[in-house]
Amino acid sequence: MPELKYNETIAKLWEQTDNELERERLPDQENWKNADRQRGLPMDSNDLIRRVRVLNPLLWAEDSRNCPGHAGFYFTDNGQRAFSGAHFKKGIVFEFSRIYVDAADRPVAVEYGWREVLHRLLKKKLIKWKQMVKVFPIYNSVRSEPFERQTQQLKEQT
C-alpha cells in the first residue's frame, strides 16, 4: 500500500507543477511549436533580403554576432547604424514564426517567420504596405489572421 500512496503523491505533484507552469505557456502554443504548420510558404533568407531591399534599398542585412546562424536588417538613423528589430534565421525562413520549448514545455526561443520580419519593418516605417504586397505573397487565411490584426493600422498609415 505505501507504494500506491507514493504514486498518488507523485501524480499530484506533477499535476500541481504542470498547473503552475501553465501560466508561462502561450495561448495556442501547440500550433506555435508545430514546424509543419508554421512553415507556410518558406523562403530562402537570401530571397527575403533581396525582396526587402527592393522595398527599401537603404536597408541592409548583417550576420548576428550574438546569435550565430541568424541575421538582421539595419538602417542609418541620424548618421548612425541602427537595428530595425527585424531578425531571422539564415537559410530557410518559415512564413510564420515558431517557438522552441524546454523540457517543461515553456517557450525558451522564438524563430521569426518572414511575416514577422515584415511586420517589424512596417512598424519602424522602413517599408510600406502597398509596396510590400507587390513583392511578397501576402494572402488571407485562418493562419494569417494574427498578421492581419497586427498590421491593420499599419496598412491604413501607408
Domain boundaries, the chain: 25-157
Confidence of residue 27 (pLDDT cuts 50, 70, 90): low
Q: What is the mean pLDDT of residues 34-45?
A: 83
Note the pLDDT of residue 1.
Answer: 47
- Contact call for residues 55 and 106 (beta carbons, < 8 A): no
- Contact call for residues 121 and 127 (beta carbons, < 8 A): yes
- Contact call for residues 29 and 99 (beta carbons, < 8 A): yes
Note the pLDDT of residue 33.
Answer: 67
Confidence of residue 157 (pLDDT cuts 50, 70, 90): low
Q: What percent of the chain has pLDDT over 70?
A: 84
- Contact call for residues 127 and 55 (beta carbons, < 8 A): yes
Stated pTM of the model: 0.78
109, 40, 120, 50: which is closest to 83 by C-alpha? 120
Higher pLDDT, 26 or 53: 53
